[in-house]
Homo-oligomer: A and B are copies of this chain.
Amino acid sequence: MSAARTVWLTGLPSAGKTTIAQALVARLVESGRRAELLDGDEVRKAICGGLGFSRADRDENVRRIGYVADLLSRNGVWAVCAVVSPYRQARDELRRLHHGRFAEVWVSTPHEVCATRDVKGLYARQRSGDMSGLTGADDPYEPPLRPELVLPTHELPLAECVDRLWNELVAAHSELATTP
């Protein structure tokens, strides 16, 4: 029961990362596991005050959240992270930091669908010229090359996404971890 991982959900704004992460954390806690949701927007306020949205600041943001996730998961607490994290190199560095405890999940909802959902109104603001540097609109997003899992939320219902996460990353991992 004590082996945990960092589950890192990456994808465009409004791709569905936070919703999936919340559902996974709830299921982990229900099953008696320790788990924390590290949501990009929330953690930014807690430990990334002063950082902006340049590439350097985005990478530093990812690095800090990854540092906290590593502290948790190496102590048996599942760290479920929902962070845009647009740059491949920063995510790959987190994978190395975690020594095998890292699962990268690409929430692959395409730009057109995200821009229609537009949960926080960011795409509308970008289109109207009110903001710039929006990942997937006028700022780059580098998809994972070898993610542990791809979740196309535009093709699968939420429950199916969470089931896949559970079966492929939690259940399988727990069996491995308890094999002598």
Contacts and interface: CB of A to CB of B under 8 A. Distances in A.
A6 B75 CA distance: 15
Contacts of A72: 71-72, 75, 77
A34 interface: yes
A104 interface: no
Contact of A68 (B60, B68, B76): B68
Chain A interface extent, by class:
10 to 19
Contacts of A68: 47, 68, 71
A36 B76 contact: no
Number of this chain's copies in the assembly equals: 2
* A60, A71, A76: most-surrounded residue (chain B CB, <10 A): A71
Contacts of A145: none
A46 B75 contact: no
A68 B75 CA distance: 13
A49 interface: yes
B50 A67 contact: no
Contact of A71 (B36, B60, B64, B76): B36
Interface in A34-48: 34, 36, 46-47
16 contacts: A34-B75, A34-B76, A36-B75, A46-B64, A47-B47, A47-B64, A47-B67, A47-B68, A68-B68, A68-B71, A72-B72, A72-B75, A72-B77, A75-B75, A75-B77, A76-B76
